[in-house]
Amino acid sequence: MKELDLWSMLFVFMLATFIGFEVIRNVSRLLHTPLMSLTNAISAIAVVGSIIIAGEQKTTFTTVLGTVAVFASMTNIISGFLITDRMLKMFKKKGPGK
């Protein structure tokens, strides 16, 4: 492993954490439940790592692990985005019929 990669990854991690703090601090408290389900779906980006393990088929065992991981991440992606949108649709400025 090249030293440079470790450091550049640490930089990315630090910068992303700061961006995360700044962006999320501005999220209205109204939307904290959708925030959690959305970040849930976003962190299911783990699917990209799982896909490679399931697809490269090096050993049966790792293929099984990769496939289960793809399944778990995909469940989070689908249900996370869908339920976030479902909840956000409900936030209306005025009630109906007014």
Partner 1 sequence: MNAEYHLTQLTYLVATALFIFSLKWLSHPKTARRGVFAGVLAMTAAIGGTLLHHEITTFKWIAIAIVAGTIVGVPLAMVPLTAVPQRTALSHSFGGLAAGLVGTAKYMLWLDEGPEALSKFRMTAIVIEVILGFLTFTGSLMACGKLQEWIPTRPITYKNQNLINLALLAVAIGVGVLIIFKPMLWGLFPLVILFSLAFGVLLIIPIGGADMPTVISLLNSYAGLSAVAMGFVLENKLLITAGALDGSSGFILSVIMCRAMNRSFSNVLFGAFGQVQSAAAATEQRSYKSATPQDAAQILESAGKVVVIPGYGMAVAQAQHRVRELYDQLTKRGVDVRFAIHPVAGRMPGHMNVLLAEAEIPYEKLTEMDDINPEMAQADVALVIGANDVVNPAARHDKSSPIFGMPIIDADKARTCLAIKRSMNPGFAGIENELYFADNTLMVFGDAKAVVGDLVKELSGQTGIH
CB 47, min distance to partner 1, A: 6
DSSP state of 94: S
User: At its nearest, how many Å lie between partner 1 and the CB of residue 19?
Assistant: 6
* C-alpha neighbours within 13 Å on the C-beta side of residue 25: 6
92 sits in the region (left: phi over 0; alpha: psi -120 to 50; else beta) called: beta
| Shortest separation between residue 8's beta carbon and partner 1, angstroms | 8
